[in-house]
């Protein structure tokens, strides 16, 4: 049986699980939605994902690990997908705040509120995202 890598967008949770466990996770938590192909988010890049009825989500590939946070800056209404990704930080192009895509925390003013983070998992080359923020 092939094992699949499950990456949750929580630095404290990362596990290798079986296909059966993945399917059980999907069944238990059906707020996961297909976001995009892994090929669409190369290492060092981000992608903005829009789900109907939900604020845009930013998918980020940090050296092969996928993270998901709010796409909209917490300072004003600016898309973080317009900024660059350096290491695990993405820059807001409007006023220059940087946010960690791992923790959601801003590291530069003027933003002072963290981004919501979202759990993700990879299924083969598919990135699926929970639309419920990590608490």
Q: Which residues bind ligand FES (CB under 6 A)?
A: 73, 75-76, 78, 92, 94-95, 97, 110-111
Closest CB 73 distance from ligand FES, rounded Å: 3
CA atoms of 84 and 19, how far apart (whole Å): 34
Q: Checking phi first, is residue 117 left (phi over 0); if not, alpha (psi -120 to 50) or beta?
A: beta
Closer residue to ligand FES in complex, CB, 41/73: 73
CA atoms of 5 and 125, how far apart (whole Å): 11
Closest CB 127 distance from ligand FES, rounded Å: 25
Closer residue to ligand FES in complex, CB, 71/121: 71
Closest CB 113 distance from ligand FES, rounded Å: 11
CA atoms of 93 and 21, how far apart (whole Å): 40
Residue 12: CB atoms within 10 A of its CB come to 5
Closest CB 106 distance from ligand FES, rounded Å: 8
Closer residue to ligand FES in complex, CB, 9/97: 97
C-beta pairs of 50-55 under 8 Å, 24+ apart in sequence: 51/131, 54/131
Closer residue to ligand FES in complex, CB, 48/95: 95
């Amino acid at each position: 049986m092939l094992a699949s890598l499950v990456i949750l967008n929580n630095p404290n949770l990362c596990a290798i699980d079986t296909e059966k466990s993945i399917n059980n996770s999907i069944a238990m938590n059906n707020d996961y939605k297909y976001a995009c192909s892994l090929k669409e988010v190369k290492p060092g890049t981000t992608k903005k994902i829009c789900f109907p009825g939900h604020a845009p989500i930013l998918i980020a590939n940090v050296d092969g690990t996928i993270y998901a946070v709010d796409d909209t800056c917490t300072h004003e209404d600016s898309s973080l997908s317009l900024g660059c990704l350096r290491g695990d930080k993405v820059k807001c192009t409007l006023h220059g705040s940087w946010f960690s895509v791992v923790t959601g925390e801003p590291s530069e003013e003027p933003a002072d509120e963290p981004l919501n983070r979202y759990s993700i998992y990879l299924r083969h080359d598919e990135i699926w995202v929970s639309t419920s923020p990590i608490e």
